[in-house]
Homo-oligomer: A and B are copies of this chain.
Amino acid sequence: MARKPGNTREETRAAILAAAEKEFEANGFAGASLSGIAERAKITKSLIHYHFKSKEALWQEIKESRFADYADLQRQILAEYDDAREFLRQSFTAYFTFLQRNPSFLRLMWWMQAEHGRSQHPQHDLVVSASMRTLVEDGIRLVRDLQQRGQLRGDLAPRFMFAAFLSLLRHWFVARRDFALVEGGESTAAADQRYLETIIAIFSDGVLARP
């Protein structure tokens, strides 16, 4: 009946992808609806199927594009420094800032973890698994290097040290809501910053009082 003028193929595709990302971020894969995506993108449901094969293919394309951002992050973290303490600070800050600036990435990851393994097209999880594997492998290798150079304590397994690193960073952005419930007054940004300083201090030096 009608055709919106001026939009190129890529513009429309991008609009659909942006709308879909919001919808998936808000509702997860199961909860998201093509109607909702169409509404956000101000086009009709049919057009989504013209540009993308299926809902699952759309979800897959979003996941892949989001994981591409990880490459830059890894390069930042893996950059080298002379001083181990300063290295830790830089790594924590880089990862933390990334999560802080990409809340939609974090929410998509959250949904992906929850829905992991439930896909009817298992090959779709391969890209995600490959990305995670690379991140974990690189992180473990890095910790091992630092141990061998005598900058990190050598009595702990590298992979569990790196797991602790990731936990401290990733979990905050979902837990902070619970902490905002008590003793309000502090802005989110301020709380973020103070949490970051705290985990750097704990990770570097521990929490026990020194005599």
Closest B residue to A183 by beta carbon equals B159
Q: Are A168 and B166 in contact (CB under 8 A)?
A: no
Task: Say which residue of B84, B113, B118, B182 sits within 8 Å of A137 (CB atoms).
Answer: B182
Among A12-20, A43-51, A64-72, A202-210, the one that faces the other chain is: A202-210
Task: Say which residue of B107, B161, B167 sits within 8 Å of A167 (CB atoms).
Answer: B167
Copies of this chain assembled into the complex: 2
Q: Are B156 and A209 in contact (CB under 8 A)?
A: no
Q: Which of A113, A170, A176, A179: most chain B CB closer than 10 A?
A: A179
Q: Are B209 and A206 in contact (CB under 8 A)?
A: no
Q: Are A166 and B156 in contact (CB under 8 A)?
A: no
From DSSP, what is the main secondary structure of chain A's interface residues? Answer: helix
Closest B residue to A32 by beta carbon equals B30
Q: Are B209 and A150 in contact (CB under 8 A)?
A: yes
Q: Which residue numbers of A lie inside 8 Å of B, CB to CB?
A: 26-28, 30-31, 84-85, 88, 107, 110-111, 113-116, 118, 129, 132-133, 135-137, 140, 150-157, 159-161, 163-164, 166-168, 170-172, 174-179, 181-183, 194-195, 198-199, 201-210
